[in-house]
A and B are shown apart, each in its own frame.
Chain A
């Protein structure tokens, strides 16, 4: 398993995280939320991250993208295409954030700015990163809305977030991350807040992004069933550490860790893997 990963690494490695630790200053002292994590993802691959809630999945990827809250800090390295996201200055990191790396959050209901039109929230990102004019970037917005299969996109441009359903908002979030044609999308529990039908529609979109556009995806979930179908590799986290790491097939058919077995016992039997 180790050796196969090494092989691919040399071909087209996209992101490599080494010895990542995340700490929080709290009133009860210093908390270590993420403990010495190593992971890597290649171009066009999907990496699934599972673990119970509170296991440090979110904070791992917040730390890589500089989104930790004020009382948190991290140590380690996260090399994205040869560039260390963690040791770099905020200004340099901003060139990658939103441009090459898109982030999709767990709660679509509160993740869009309530007082801005959808069109503006989409277009601002390529106006900023790609120097498009407002008109060009709205045209781009219509294209990405098509990719995320939002019907009647033209009306959407002028509507406000509160006029949309949860599923639509999450598609908008995906559309935002697609605006600048990213190479990596980090999706943190993108379907947890949604109902089952919407859930599978959203997962289908991720499948398309990977298979048709060749975008690498990090798919985070507390539910191993959600990520099993899309992921090529899986890491399992518990209490801030990785307890299992391998190809989806290996992890699902031959889990080594007790905790992984427990997670697997929760998958509905009809899921075909």
Chain B
């Protein structure tokens, strides 16, 4: 187990390094970036910048310094928010984004799998058809259409839910953003779970279980779910990536001060340090999620050796 995790982490390190290098190179080559000489600056300011970013040192040394800073969790100063470091911005947005992301992933996984299993067991009934139609809506209506429509309907038309703001994380303010964020994932997960459950239900080992005269509910609990949940486990990381990008939109539309909001503002203002900091943070999160996926898969499927 420990060996397995170590091995996985060893694979993760080059991945992270590639991402960091990408961010680093981007900052150096980007037009209008912090380190190109598009503007004529007074020499002393130029020198100050050079010193602050170690531009007078060779490139590889700059890279090492950058990585060294990152390894202690220092993303450097923001390029546009003069008085803030990237760390400060990320930390201020984290509670919002983490609340949104965690609740959405939990809701999507549980609700999606649950609906998918029931739809598969009751396939070709009205329950199945309605779950599948609703999930089709979730797939075809992207979050940036769904979110404004939700806020138009529940916020402006019915006036029962606030349409924007964080308000200290009050439940009422969270309902619409979480719904907009989770709906597409619930849709995808329930379809996936339905398809994989149907496949398992048609498999030979379920026929064996049925030939034993066992109760259906028992067969589903013991024999079906553990096999049919595997594709969902594989989907954990892509789903989280989807939520991360989705939250960029949702935070924007509902005016929530999360990391995604900073990312968009950073991108529009070409705040390279902020943007690459967010990218590295998200990539690290995804790498951890992939590790969790591998462990879960090995736990659920005894054929996988770890």
Contact = CB atoms under 8 A, between A and B. Distances in A.
Interface of A: 65-67, 69, 93-99, 102-103, 105, 107, 110-116, 120, 124-125, 128-129, 160, 162, 173, 176
B302 A129 contact: no
Contacts of A105: 204, 207-208, 211
A110 B203 contact: yes
Contact of A116 (B207, B210, B211, B222): B222
Contact of A125 (B202, B207, B212, B300): B212
A124 B204 contact: no
Contact of B205 (A66, A96, A111, A120): A111
Given A124-B222, A162-B303, A107 B204 contact: yes
Q: Is the interface of B mostly helix, strand, loop or mixed?
A: helix
Contacts of B214: 94, 98, 124-125, 128
A96 B213 contact: yes
B269 to A, nearest CB: 51
A98 B208 CA distance: 10
Interface string B126-157: 00000000000000000000000000000000
Contacts of B47: none
B208 A114 contact: no
B227 interface: yes
A111 B212 CA distance: 12
A103 B301 CA distance: 26
B80 interface: no
Interface residues of B, number: 23
B218 interface: yes
A177 B206 CA distance: 15
Nearest to B299: A115
A250 to B, nearest CB: 32
Nearest to B208: A111
Given A94-B213, A111-B205, A160-B303, 7 more contacts: A67-B210, A93-B213, A98-B211, A98-B214, A103-B208, A114-B205, A114-B301
B227 A112 contact: no
A57 to B, nearest CB: 16
A115 B213 contact: no
B214 to A, nearest CB: 6
Nearest to A179: B212
B302 A110 contact: no
B126 to A, nearest CB: 17
Contacts of A116: 222-223
A115 B208 CA distance: 14
Nearest to A129: B213
Contact of A112 (B208, B222, B226): B208
A129 B213 CA distance: 8
Contacts of B203: 110
Contacts of B213: 93-99, 125, 128-129
Contact of A113 (B202, B211, B218, B223): B223
12 contacts: A97-B210, A97-B212, A110-B205, A112-B208, A113-B222, A114-B205, A115-B227, A124-B222, A128-B213, A128-B215, A176-B208, A176-B212
B211 A162 contact: no
A113 B206 CA distance: 7
Chain A to chain B: the 4 pairs with minimum beta-carbon distance, closest first: A97-B213, A98-B213, A98-B212, A103-B211
A120 B210 CA distance: 15
Contacts of A67: 207, 210-211
B209 interface: yes
Nearest to A125: B212
